[in-house]
Amino acid sequence: MFKGSIVALVTPFKGEAVDEAAYRKLVEWQIKEGTSGIVPCGTTGESPTLSAQEHGRVVEICVQAVQKRAAVIAGAGSNSTAEAVAYARHAARVGADAVLVVTPYYNKPTNKGVYLHFKAVSEASRVPIILYNIAGRTGKNIEPEVMAKLAQDCKNIVGVKEASGSLEQMLRIKEICPKDFILLSGDDALTLPILAIGGTGVISVAANIVPKDVAAVIENFNKGDLKRAQEINLKLLPLIRALFIETNPIPVKKAMELMGLCNGALRLPMCDMEEGNLVKLKEALKTYGLIKG
Catalytic residue among 161, 253, 254, 282: 161
Neighbour-count burial for 179-206, b at 16+ CB within 10 Å, e otherwise: eebbbbbbbbbbbbebbeeebbbbbbbb
Whole-angstrom CA distances from 253 to 8, 9, 13, 74, 105 are 12, 10, 11, 20, 24
Count other C-beta atoms under 10 Å from residue 74's C-beta: 31
Count other C-beta atoms under 10 Å from residue 279's C-beta: 11
Handedness of CA 290, 291, 292, 293 (dihedral sign): negative
Catalytic residue among 87, 115, 132, 140: 132
Determine whether 161 is an active site residue.
yes
Determine whether 25 is an active site residue.
no
DSSP per-residue codes, 98-167:
EEEEEPP-SS---HHHHHHHHHHHHHH-SS-EEEEE-HHHHS----HHHHHHHHHH-TTEEEEEE-S--H
User: Could you give the dihedral angle defined by the CA atoms of residues 111, 112, 115 and 117, in that order, rounded to the nearest 10 degrees?
Assistant: -110
**94 membership: H or E segment, kind and range:** helix 81-94
Q: What SS3 state is found at 258?
A: helix
Contact call for residues 74 and 91 (beta carbons, < 8 A): yes
Angle between helices 226-243 and 250-258 (to 10 degrees): 100
- Catalytic residue IDs: 132, 161
